[in-house]
A and B are shown apart, each in its own frame.
Chain A
Amino acid sequence: DTGVSQDPRHKITKRGQNVTFRCDPISEHNRLYWYRQTLGQGPEFLTYFQNEAQLEKSRLLSDRFSAERPKGSFSTLEIQRTEQGDSAMYLCASSHRDRGYEQYFGPGTRLTVT
């Protein structure tokens, strides 16, 4: 399968702990996006990269959140000092630069903060 993969698929953590998620995009895609989805809502944009450069961050991305894409391939999303409100599905997507709105999503990482 050459689609977008995310790891882990599920994460349960206690409030105050740090968590890190990984996303591996489709190999030929140079754009990578992170979205967050809470129950019953549509996905909300968090941030995106073109190659290794982080070009945009949503206001939803508080100081506790950081994302990296060090070599322009896989990306990590870290949440520090997790709060119960961080419980959500974290989705990663990738696209080719010339077809940016045609995004291919991974299965998501479901985070539960207890």
Chain B
Amino acid sequence: DAKTTQPPSMDCAEGRAANLPCNHSTISGNEYVYWYRQIHSQGPQYIIHGLKNNETNEMASLIITEDRKSSTLILPHATLRDTAVYYCIVPWAAGNKLTFGGGTRVLVKP
């Protein structure tokens, strides 16, 4: 998998936007960027994915830079329930296995 780099932790104020960065400078042209999160004591949860265009769904927005070497996951109005570890993944292997790195531990504070 293309290597991704994320900050180990970040805090966010409840109600504010949370911007989670991810670097994937070795990404190739046909590799997608996927984001998952894992709330404490739960299984990971798929959030969103994209190739080169910005994407938005009911959970988050994904902004990918034009050179595709980095991306930002945006939680528009963070709530306490968004406290979790967020994983940025660039998978490529056949079989669709996901390789989880260290992720970013996000703490949403009241």
Report A's interface with B, CB cutoff 8 A: 4, 31, 33, 35, 42-45, 48, 55-56, 58, 91, 93, 95, 100-108
Q: Which B68-110 residues have C-beta < 8 A from chain A?
A: 85, 87, 89, 91, 95-103
Q: Are A33 and B43 in contact (CB-based, < 8 A)?
A: no
Q: Are A42 and B103 in contact (CB-based, < 8 A)?
A: yes
Q: Which chain B residue shows the least CB distance to A91?
A: B43
Separation of A4 and B44 alpha carbons in the complex (Å): 12
Separation of A57 and B27 alpha carbons in the complex (Å): 25
- The one of A45, A56, A106, A108 that contacts B98, using a Cβ cutoff of 8 Å: A45
Report B's interface with A, CB cutoff 8 A: 32, 34, 42-46, 49, 85, 87, 89, 91, 95-103
Q: Are A43 and B44 in contact (CB-based, < 8 A)?
A: yes
Given contacts A42-B87, A42-B103, A91-B43, contact A103 B95 (CB under 8 A): no
Of A42, A56, A93, A104, most buried by chain B (CB within 10 Å of CB) is A42
Given contacts A42-B87, A48-B95, A101-B32, contact A106 B100 (CB under 8 A): no
Q: Which residues in B have their C-beta under 8 angstroms from that of A55?
A: 95
Separation of A40 and B98 alpha carbons in the complex (Å): 17
Q: Are B42 and A100 in contact (CB-based, < 8 A)?
A: no
- The one of A42, A101, A104, A108 that contacts B96, using a Cβ cutoff of 8 Å: A101
